[in-house]
Structure 1
Amino acid sequence: MVDLHQEFQKSRFFHEARIERRSADALIGIVTGITADNRVNQQEADFLKAWIEQHLTYLDDPVINLLYRRLSDMLQDGVLDTEESTELLALLKQFTGEPRTNLHPFNAPTTLPLNDPAPELQWSGRVYLFTGTMAYGPRKDCETLVTDRGGLIGASVSKKVHYLVVGSIGNEQWLHSSYGTKIKKAVDVRESGAGIAIISEAHWQRALFG
């Protein structure tokens, strides 16, 4: 006999996933529109907060939730002052990442999950983990650069990892509220008080080559 309840559940989850993806896409479009003139006013900030509350606060996405928490803190007193407006503009640009251009055909990943300020990197005995596509080259080559300097390579995100390096070349996952299980878990581990730092490949390369 066909389990109609199970079929309904599967169908519901399938449609919820599609709705979440469309909502995340819509959020990126809204944020891109808000930041197009390089300023954020009170009305735009209030609208964005209300839209996220209506469509996305139920999502188990630490990056979107991080954006929402910071936005809520700025609007807690009901006023977006000049300093907060400047900070929010930078925050929203971090969220959307760098747009595609003819010179840069790939989307740069959102920088919102990254530690700010970026930490000074150490090598000896420090555990590194890589995620995403590295502009430097194959991940194995990146790992060799770390181990040659006395560093270690982690197997998965945990409290034992010191640095999660996010590749500079983005992809469609960044546009669909799917930041990869490594980054999601790293954000959760970091917010629990552990010492893991999420850093960009650019910061990692600067520490290597100056």
Structure 2
Amino acid sequence: MGLVGLLNGIAADRRLNNIEVLYLSNWLNNNRYLKRDPDAIDLYDAASIILEDGIVTADERADLLNLARDVAYYRRVGPERSRDQSTNELLGVLQGLGADGLINLEEAEFLVDWIAKRPQVQREWSVPDISQRLQAVLADGEVDETESNELVALFSSITGDDFENTALAGGLSAWSFLDTTERVDLEGRTVCFTGAFTLCKRPGLIDMATRAGARTKTAVSGKVDYLFVGSLISPDWMFTSYGRKIQKAMAMRESGEGIHLLDEDCFRSSISSLI
């Protein structure tokens, strides 16, 4: 579903530019689980051949665009898709739309229509922010440079993509959901951990939190004050218990509960005297 979403996003305005061609080739190369997928192989080979001589002609872009649209069309699935499939496709669409660092009017309108046709996607934590921003951007019927940059930044914060600066297509998880707090007092607080930490493994984290006066929980609930998110993250974070904890905590926070989502650096600062 990620590949389908990516292709739909890249082809949303029915044009391909050189950066999008390079992005698609890079994305396919980085997603090695697709190496046995005949459609992915065809796309990768086509993009590689185009890029081989360093010159991307209009005809080559048109041929690759048609191939991408054909693959997306024939691999589409019916409306009864799973939550994970829908989320994966959404991430792919956002990656494709932001691949070249620009969002134009056709692409913004495409995303509005794409979301409207998928009720299961509308329940995902990031979609209300996307829809609200799109509504504001499209109010005057155009997308200016500032609005384009804002949409690219929003999509990047959700997908983790930063192709322009990292040359890595298919980024890591988003950090936009975290509270910007440098340090907290753990005394008497209840904390939960999710993801992998560079500091140490889970037993060590629990030990340090306990020594700092905190209680620890293994699951997110209304009793948890702080959910600390590890900095070692993977592209499939949304489909793991890691991602589910984050989404549950975000839903709780949006409903007015007092849980805070904090990064590993905040935890490190909060227990600095114990290290």
With the length of structure 1 as denominator, give the TM-score of the two structures.
Answer: 0.70
1:154 to 217, 220, 227: 217
Equivalent-residue separation in structure 2 for 1:126 and 1:98 (angstroms):
34
**One-letter code aligned to 1:153:** T
Root-mean-square deviation (CA), in Å? 3.5
Residue of structure 2 equivalent to 1:97: 160
Question: How many percent identity over aligned positions?
Answer: 29
Does residue 63 (structure 1) correspond to residue 105 (structure 2)? The answer is no
Q: Compare the two structures and name the one with the higher helix fraction.
A: 2
Equivalent-residue separation in structure 1 for 2:271 and 2:261 (angstroms):
16
Alignment of 1:125-164 (within 5 A): 125-164=188-227
Equivalent-residue separation in structure 1 for 2:175 and 2:127 (angstroms):
14
Give the C-alpha shift of residue 179 in structure 1: 5.9
Tell me if structure 1 keeps the 8 A contact 2:219–2:245: yes
Return closer, same or farther for 1:171/1:152 CA change in 2, 3 Å cut-off.
same
Question: What secondary structure does 2:125 align onto?
Answer: helix
- Structure 1, residues 86-121: CA drift from partner, whole Å, max 9, x if none? 332221111112579x9x9x9632224323x44642
Alignment of 1:1-210 (within 5 A): 16-17=81-82, 20-55=83-118, 57-59=119-121, 61-75=123-137, 77-79=139-141, 80-98=143-161, 108-115=172-179, 117-118=180-181, 120-171=183-234, 173-174=236-237, 176=239, 180-209=243-272
Question: What secondary structure does 2:173 align onto?
Answer: coil
Segments of 5+ residues of structure 1 without an aligned counterpart are 1-14
Tell me if structure 1 keeps the 8 A contact 2:183–2:267: no
Tell me if structure 1 keeps the 8 A contact 2:194–2:229: yes
Return closer, same or farther for 1:107/1:84 CA change in 2, 3 Å cut-off.
closer
The count of aligned residue pairs is 189
Larger Rg: 2
Give the C-alpha shift of residue 144 in structure 1: 2.0
Tell me if structure 1 keeps the 8 A contact 2:87–2:124: no
